[in-house]
Amino acid sequence: MQKRRATMKYFLGNPLGMTIEQVIELGNNEHFSKLTCSIIPTIDYWKNLSNKILTDIVADDYNICFEFPVKSIKNATSSYTDIMLISDKTNIAIESKWTEKIGDYCINQKSKRKNEVQQHWINIISKYIGKDLAIEQFSYIEYQLLHRVASACSLNKDNCIVTYQIFYTDLLSDSFINEIVKIKSILDITKIKFYVDSVKIDFTDTYLRLRNEIKDLNKKTKIDKIKDTIKQNDLFTFSNESLYQL
């Protein structure tokens, strides 16, 4: 593993900074309950602070904020970005995907206040880009993508970037890329930049052993075992990384 940059810190939400091991320890247990959760390769990838996203988009000294919260309307759930990179003039909102499928479109979202909540996210985007947007334009946009873009805009930085980091083992799906193209065409601006980072992953021997060891464990013991292992060992090797702007 390459040497870490001493000037960067890892964050979980908005505290004062911590080590990657503390991020793992304090991270949402549900996200560490299965080895197929996207947080697992994400954590492994971000142990290396000389990765492509940090060096090839806008090189800067970022605060690395895991599960970065952006408030929704009153009594509605906040939006949590997998990783938000924040510097003085730039923020990069990173959404990690591995085994996940496309989520509900805005029109199909099941919420009593869905129009209010969606309008809240749309207003954040509209204010940042200086363009009027109608809720009807987003009917067939994935809801998670909508509030991920809004979260990126909420920090009001000079450089606002949304990056989808897509891990794959065999075949790379373009389904999330297609969704980004759709919202990009609606916004029709260059003020928000969109990137895709596709990364092939292979399982290490540690991953394969761990997969067998946790098969019959109860949920709590399984979570503890996964967290302890990923703190100390790499579960994946990464290759064929392709980072590009849409």
Query: Would you tell me how many other CB atoms lie within 10 Å of the CB of residue 43?
Result: 25
pLDDT digits (tens, 9 = 90+) for 137-177: 999 999 999 999 999 999 999 999 999 999 999 989 899 99
pLDDT digits (tens, 9 = 90+) for 105-130: 999 988 879 999 999 999 999 999 99
Q: Residue 55: inside a domain, yes or no?
A: yes
Query: Would you tell me how many other CB atoms lie within 10 Å of the CB of residue 19?
Result: 12
Q: In what order do the strands lie in the sheet with 63-70?
A: 9-12, 63-70, 79-86, 90-97, 159-168, 192-203, 236-245
Given a cut of 90, whether residue 6 has pLDDT beyond it is no
Task: Give the up-direction half-sphere exposure of residue 42: CA atoms within 13 A in the CB hemisphere.
Answer: 26
Which neighbouring-strand residues pair with 166?
97, 198
Residues spanned by the domain of 34: 9-245
CB 70 within 8 A of CB 62: no
Query: For the chain, how many structural domains are there in total?
Result: 1
Q: Residue 2: inside a domain, yes or no?
A: no
Q: Residue 76: inside a domain, yes or no?
A: yes
Q: Residue 3: inside a domain, yes or no?
A: no
Q: Residue 4: inside a domain, yes or no?
A: no
